[in-house]
Amino acid sequence: MTQRTAPSVRVQAENFDPGREQALLTHGRRNIGALVSFVGLCRDEDGSLESLELEHYPGMAEAEIARVADQALERWPLQGLTVIHRFGRIRPGEQIVLVLTAARRRADAFAAAEFLMDYLKTRAPFWKKERRADGAPDDWVEARFEDDDAMARWR
Amino acid sequence: MKALYFAWVRERIGLAEEDIAPPGEVVTVRQLIDWLSARGEGYAAAFANPATIRAAVDKIHAAPDAPIVAAREIAFFPPMTGG
């Protein structure tokens, strides 16, 4: 009866369609009672940001997200899991990351989605560089201690 | 072994990757950082504050005291800012 849920993990430059991903994840399924969809977007930082350049470590990015996804599957009884993370040039308003979690019950889907985002932010090998709208030199975004705190609460 | 550098570590060193052959007494991530730091100004600048350096051995996060002896690929980068 129980079938092992295989996470879908993608690292890509192209944009993604959350509705299409949701349809793919739920297609033909009748045992999903809750689906949580989280999309991380690029903010314009009150107009000061022209764009982000997202650098990543090819190979490790996919592997590390898959490891985090496997941890989520061990902790919560998920029926489906999709993670997409983009790299390259991303402008304000554009999508950066998608996390979809499907479960019988919403508490598991919510918790797993939040866990995945907290872990991705501190463990997935991506680095954001900001291109400023005022022409100031590009600069790397610094890691936030709050993100480490957010991850630590899952231990 | 291959060394990979990302984000401002890459910019300060001026290379994305290179083949390195550290001496036999360099056996941990921390020792490799010390050895690389002595290779030039860019390396010294990249590794000036070890607290801001993260490492991966064969694409898995590695602590400063992790062994590097059998590694094929070692990467150095700042704390991650994805998501």
Q: Count CA atoms closer than 13 A to A127's CA, side-chain side.
A: 23
* Closest chain A residue by Cα to residue B55: A125
- Residue ranges making up the domain that contains B35: 2-66
The burial of A37, by beta-carbon neighbours within 10 Å (0-12 exposed, 13-18 middle, 19 or more buried), is given as middle
Choose among B7, B82, B83: nearest Cβ to A140. Answer: B7
Residue A155: its pLDDT value, please?
Answer: 81
Choose among B4, B60, B79: nearest Cβ to A143. Answer: B79
Residue A152: its pLDDT value, please?
Answer: 83
Residue A146: its pLDDT value, please?
Answer: 80
Cβ-based neighbours of A115, under 8 Å, separated by 6 or more: A71, A72, A75, A76, A154
DSSP code per residue over A73-95: HHHS-EEEEEEEEE-EEE-TT-E
Residue B78 within a domain: no
Q: Does A56 touch chain B (CB under 8 A)?
A: yes
CB atoms B82 and A142 under 8 Å = no
Residue A147, SS3?
Answer: helix
CB atoms B83 and A57 under 8 Å = no
pTM tops 0.90, yes or no? yes
Residue range A8-152, CATH number? 3.90.1170.40
What's the Cα-to-Cα distance from B60 to each of A63, A86, A102, rounded to whole Å? 8, 20, 28
Question: Which residues in chain B have their CB less than 8 angstroms from residue A96's CB?
Answer: 83
Greatest Cα pair distance, chain A, in angstroms, is 59
Choose among A60, A120, A147: nearest Cβ to B56. Answer: A60
What's the Cα-to-Cα distance from A116 to each of A58, A120, A148, B11, B16, rounded to whole Å? 19, 6, 13, 30, 29
Question: Which residues in chain B have their CB less than 8 angstroms from residue A122's CB?
Answer: 79-80
Cα gap A15→A30, rounded to integer Å: 29
Residue A154: its pLDDT value, please?
Answer: 83
Cα gap A89→A84, rounded to integer Å: 16
Joined together, the tokens standing for residue A152 give: 């630590």
Cβ-based neighbours of A129, under 8 Å, separated by 6 or more: A52, A53, A54, A55, A138, A139, A140, A141, B7
Residue B14 within a domain: yes
Q: Where are the domains of chain A?
A: 8-152
- CB interface of B with A, residues 53-72, below 8 Å: 56, 59-61
Residues B61, B54 contacting (CB under 8 angstroms): yes
Average pLDDT over residues B57-75: 96
Q: How far is B8 from chain A (nearest CA, A)?
A: 7
Choose among A63, A85, A142: nearest Cβ to B82. Answer: A85
Q: 């694409």: which residue's tokens? A: B59
Cα gap A91→B20, rounded to integer Å: 37
Pairs of residues, one from chain A and one from chain B, whose beta carbons lie less than 8 Å apart: 71
How many domains would you assign to chain B? 1
Residue B80 within a domain: no
Domain of B49: which CATH number? Answer: 3.10.20
Q: Which residues of chain A have pLDDT under 70?
A: 1-4
Which tens digits make up the pLDDT trace of A103-138? Answer: 999 999 999 999 999 999 999 999 999 999 999 999
Question: Which residues in chain B have their CB less than 8 angstroms from residue A121's CB?
Answer: 80-83
Q: What is the ipTM of this complex?
A: 0.96
Residue B71 within a domain: no
- CB interface of A with B, residues 83-102, below 8 Å: 85, 96-97
What's the Cα-to-Cα distance from A141 to each of A52, A99, A133, B7, B82, rounded to whole Å? 9, 22, 15, 10, 10
